[in-house]
Chains A and B, each alone.
Chain A
């Protein structure tokens, strides 16, 4: 502890915590940029990283929606699915507007074009759902979005003539690279770049005046509305924005980048609950916290598929090997659930919150404010006067 205090004061007098934080972020980005060049890493690890990036996008955009804007949507996975399914269907069947006499053949759409159309579709549905949700709050909103995403999943599962049912739907491959190793490399950079871009976009919204309006809405919708925040506009806006982001990410991820087909199982509430758990563990009110929480949890869940404990001092197990091998299976998810519940109860801002606040220096400001108030002799008297 003493060492840590000394280190802390040294940092404060030196480059300052905020700058150190930026330095750490730069180092982390550099690590991720260097990582696929490490020849000792298998393609499997890269695949885990790719899905980690994808879930980081999902979690951080959910954090904007739920943590910052206070809209408890369980339909996030469904919006992702809308993006992916719309892109896949457009690329396979094309589209005909009978009334306008316009017809777009599947050949005339590139893979990227279909992804853009998927994104627009997700945004359009987000617009409608956001408008419908204006009247609903908290639990009712959560229930409605659960119903919406279940309906969507059942439709995708049942209309197998169009969507392939439980076999899933293949999207048009975005990258066509024959060599597996090279392809994995490109997919890795693509997904990482997407994560960075999405985080920047999310931060841009969260730090703009819109972010302030969203926070005000979260705290008290009526008060915000009375103070002149256009609640209707920003509620719809945040729905459209986040659903476009996840629709875009989903369409890219399933275009043979992270996964070769989208299946309805991916849209189950259980999958959605994983995203919520990642965001909660990482910190719901911090976008980077949610993203890091998702990535780390994803990595740990993969790494814990097989736990090997090597015994020290040449000890052996009863069957003569020198290590315990434990395959936790579903127990790791159960453990994950315990972590989630206790995080919510005892560290509601997430496990990464202390680290983030330390770097941002916010806790110094808080401490100073508190100590100034405590040292203020008149403070206690003033509170008493207020009470009377």
Chain B
């Protein structure tokens, strides 16, 4: 361990900066010998050289030098992540654990963020500069670089694009990770040699569960984009979907066993279409009876009515399920079992293994279901007549009506389909989680986070938001110094992001402007 550590520090202290300098000097040479139109901005090349050199040494510089087309935002982001990881590894070893960085992060960071968020957008407005992203950038920057943000944004009021926010966000994340590393050097997310594996494992878990979260959030976003209504019954529809699947499987297995005399247990995948069908009809009926009058002008104060009526529907579903199914945890069989071939024997397990990374088979299966359904939905929305009509209605109701689309039917369809997607994700998750009637409350909180993060009304946004939330939850819970608290705070990490997004950028990452 000692040798390893010393080598590592040597690499970081000497080789990392060295190769970063080399990258900085060498990469601008790429532009020589390239045509007028193929020129790459010098700043981009310098940044790529710095990051590539620091994170990957000669390999990074070489790749970027010989294949400059690879200098994309994605590869640079990956480089930033690696750099963050590596530099904090140095900090762990160099800085005294009692360094008051915790104080800086906990007090000074938010303080400067609040000050910057208050003053800088006003300053932009006073100078009549474009203040579209000023608030977000100011708050993130205040957190990341403290008072320096005033120096950066006050005098020249630069136009804020996404790169600014990404940079500040990455810097802030780096600080949090560094603080973490300094305060808690033995944490599994920090201590080498396991940290890399552990972080990858957590991230993989996050991505897997995030895809499933997305499916539910996509339903919510579909309803919102067409109707402008946030469904507060979504969590309960998800829960009910799981229960429909559960009861269907139980009865089907029982009756098939009776008929054939063999012990048959139906695969839970058959529960998904059944739950989808029933909840689709439920959603359609509810929409026709309670939401349709809203669009016909029979209700005053529509947005409040929509909140309350969907909320009441969820209330009814939750207590009805409690009365019918009781408060006992239920679970169905597994989707799949995996045969792992080893040298001496064939082992049956419940997880896939990619080197040291393990992914639970059922979760992977549910992820596949989620992704397939989301892409099926996207295909439906983009290619079929009905899907196009749905999108047209979401863009402009009157114009859609003029072209012969019946907006009333589109409303019903969107609510029914959104509810159906919630039920499908419920049916896909009941083999994984213990199912109780209040399981929806936790899940729906998460899908609100996802849709707001991705932008209400955007399907790709919901997918991206789901994966982000999944990763944040997995990393947050996995890296918390106290494991039991980490698990308890799992939801809270996402909720903090949620509150921040609502306050700083209510349109989310991909959203349209708030109506």
Interface size on A, residues (CB 8 A): 44
A150 pairs with B445, CB closer than 8 A? yes
Q: How far is the CA of A337 from the CA of B286 in the complex (A)?
A: 14
- Interface residues in B297-329 (C-beta closer than 8 Å to A): 299-301, 303-309, 311-320, 322-323
Stretch of B250-258, B348-356, B497-505 with 4 or more beta carbons under 8 angstroms from chain A = B497-505
A49 at the interface (CB under 8 A from B): no
Chain B hits for A257, CB < 8 A: none
Most buried by A among B289, B308, B502: B308
User: Taking the complex as formed, is B347 at the interface, i.e. its CB lies under 8 A from any CB of chain A?
Assistant: no
Judged by a CB distance under 8 angstroms, whether B438 is at the interface is: yes
Residue A143 is within 8 A (CB to CB) of chain B in the complex: yes
- The answer to whether the Cβ of B479 comes within 8 Å of any Cβ in the partner chain is no
A142 touches B489 (CB 8 A): no
Distance to closest chain A CB from B433 (angstroms):
18
Choose the segment among A78-86, A87-95, A272-280, A318-326 that binds chain B (4+ C-beta atoms closer than 8 Å): A272-280
**Pair A139/B322 contact, Cβ less than 8 Å:** no
Q: Which residues of A are found within 8 Å of B485, using beta-carbon distances? A: 158
- B269 interface contact, C-beta 8 A: no
Contact residues in B for A146 (Cβ distance below 8 Å): 445, 448
Q: Are A139 and B303 in contact (CB under 8 A)?
A: yes
Closest chain B residue, CB of each to CB of A279: B308
Q: How far is the CA of A323 from the CA of B230 in the complex (A)?
A: 46
**CB within 8 Å of A: which B204-247 residues:** 229-230, 232
Contact of B322 with A333 in the complex, beta carbons under 8 Å:
yes
Cβ–Cβ < 8 Å partners of B316 in chain A: 334, 337-338, 340-341
Chain B residues with CB below 8 A from A355, complex form: none
Q: Is the CB of B315 within 8 A of A277?
A: yes
Q: Determine the chain A residues whose CB is within 8 A of the CB of B290 once the complex forms.
A: 341, 344-345
- Specify the chain A residue showing the minimal Cβ separation from B302: A138
B323 touches A148 (CB 8 A): no
| Secondary structure of the B contact surface, majority rule | helix
- Asked whether B441 lies within 8 Å of A337 as measured between CB atoms, the reply is no
Specify the chain A residue showing the minimal Cβ separation from B309.
Answer: A344
A280–B312 Cα gap in the complex (Å)?
10
Cross-interface CB contact of B304 among A138, A154, A277, A333, cutoff 8 Å: A138
Q: Are A135 and B315 in contact (CB under 8 A)?
A: no
Known: A154-B492, A158-B488. A147 touches B498 (CB 8 A): yes
* Cβ B307 vs Cβ A142 within 8 A: yes
**A146 to B485, alpha carbons, bound, how many Å?**
21
Q: Is the CB of A277 within 8 A of B323?
A: no
Contact A268 B441 (CB under 8 A): yes
In the complex, which of the residues A138, A270, A345 contacts B318, with contact meaning CB atoms closer than 8 Å? A270
- Are B309 and A269 touching (Cβ within 8 A)? no
Interface positions of B from 439 to 481, Cβ below 8 Å from A: 441, 445, 448-449, 452
B496 at the interface (CB under 8 A from A): yes
Find residues 293-340 in chain A having any chain B CB closer than 8 Å to their own CB: 328-331, 333-334, 336-338, 340
Bound-state Cα–Cα, A158 to B476, Å? 15
B492 adjacent to A155 (CB under 8 Å) = yes
Distance from A369 Cβ to chain B, minimum over Cβ atoms (Å): 18
- Bound Cα distance from A142 to B496, whole angstroms: 16
How many Å lie between the Cα of A143 and that of B502 in the bound state? 9
CB-CB nearest 10 A-B residue pairs: A337-B316, A333-B319, A330-B323, A138-B303, A139-B230, A330-B322, A341-B312, A158-B488, A334-B319, A334-B320
Q: Point out residues on B near A: beta carbons under 8 Å.
A: 229-230, 232, 289-290, 293, 299-301, 303-309, 311-320, 322-323, 438, 441, 445, 448-449, 452, 485, 488-489, 491-492, 495-496, 498-499, 502-503, 506, 514
Q: List 26 A-B contacts (CB under 8 A).
A: A66-B304, A135-B503, A135-B506, A136-B506, A139-B303, A139-B306, A140-B452, A140-B502, A144-B499, A148-B499, A150-B495, A154-B492, A218-B301, A269-B441, A273-B311, A273-B315, A280-B312, A329-B323, A330-B323, A333-B319, A333-B322, A333-B323, A336-B315, A337-B318, A337-B320, A341-B312
Other than the known A147-B449, A330-B320, what 16 A-B pairs have Cβ atoms closer than 8 Å? A138-B303, A148-B499, A151-B499, A269-B441, A273-B314, A276-B311, A280-B308, A333-B315, A333-B319, A334-B322, A336-B315, A337-B315, A341-B309, A341-B312, A344-B308, A345-B309
